[in-house]
């Protein structure tokens, strides 16, 4: 997920790691909290596959600093990540979908149609899993557990309708 965030930011601004963290916190405050421990590994992966590049320069304080920018391949990879959005962890699917939707303004109209269909499928599948879990007679859920799942289903419904 952080690869989408990094590429999205670098699609708009060139940035150091410090600035990437700061912009991520400012733009994505409703969905995630960035840290060097999450940004650094994602940035290294993106660098390794040619999606980002950097320029090194000395700061006024005499420190070596890297300013990252997105490459043409990185822009293509961002679109591909959005068009093929998947979330492996059911705990994160709603939040990750929100981040992907938030970043979807980089897509063309035709790409957005494809994106929307894909993300709707992901959300609908998650909804079906939750509904099956609620109806499963072999799972003995307490009332608070049922209500928690129902609240999650309501949030999913709102997100689906918003698309």
Nearest Cα neighbor of 5 from 70, 56, 92, 89 is: 70
> Tokens 């609908």 belong to which residue?
124
Q: From CA 52, how far away is CA 6, in angstroms rounded?
A: 9
Domain 1-83 belongs to what topology?
Answer: Arc Repressor Mutant, subunit A (1.10.10)
Q: From CA 59, how far away is CA 54, in angstroms rounded?
A: 15
- Residue 148's pLDDT is 95
Does residue 54 sit in helix, strand or coil? strand
What ranges do the domains of the chain cover? Answer: 1-83, 89-163
- Residue 64's pLDDT is 85
Averaged pLDDT of the chain: 93
Single pTM value for the model:
0.89
Residue 94 is encoded by which pair of tokens?
Answer: 């709603």
Confidence of residue 56 (pLDDT cuts 50, 70, 90): very high
Q: From CA 53, how far away is CA 43, in angstroms rounded?
A: 10
- Residue 60's pLDDT is 79
Q: From CA 155, how far away is CA 94, in angstroms rounded?
A: 8
Q: From CA 39, how far away is CA 2, in angstroms rounded?
A: 7
């Amino acid at each position: 997920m952080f690869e989408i965030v990094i590429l999205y930011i670098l699609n708009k601004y060139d940035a150091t790691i410090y600035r990437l963290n700061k912009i991520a916190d400012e733009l994505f405050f409703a969905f995630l909290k960035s840290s060097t421990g999450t940004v650094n590994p994602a940035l290294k992966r993106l660098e390794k596959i040619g999606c980002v590049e950097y320029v090194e320069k000395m700061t006024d304080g005499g420190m070596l600093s890297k300013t990252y920018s997105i490459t043409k391949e990185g822009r293509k990879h961002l679109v591909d990540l959005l068009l093929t959005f998947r979330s492996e962890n059911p705990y994160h699917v709603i939040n990750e979908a929100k981040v992907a939707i938030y970043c979807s303004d980089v897509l063309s109209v035709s790409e957005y149609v494809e994106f929307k269909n894909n993300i709707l499928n992901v959300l609908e599948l998650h909804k079906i899993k939750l509904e099956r879990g609620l109806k499963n007679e072999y799972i003995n859920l307490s009332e608070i557990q049922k209500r928690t799942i129902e609240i999650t289903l309501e949030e999913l419904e709102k997100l689906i309708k918003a698309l």
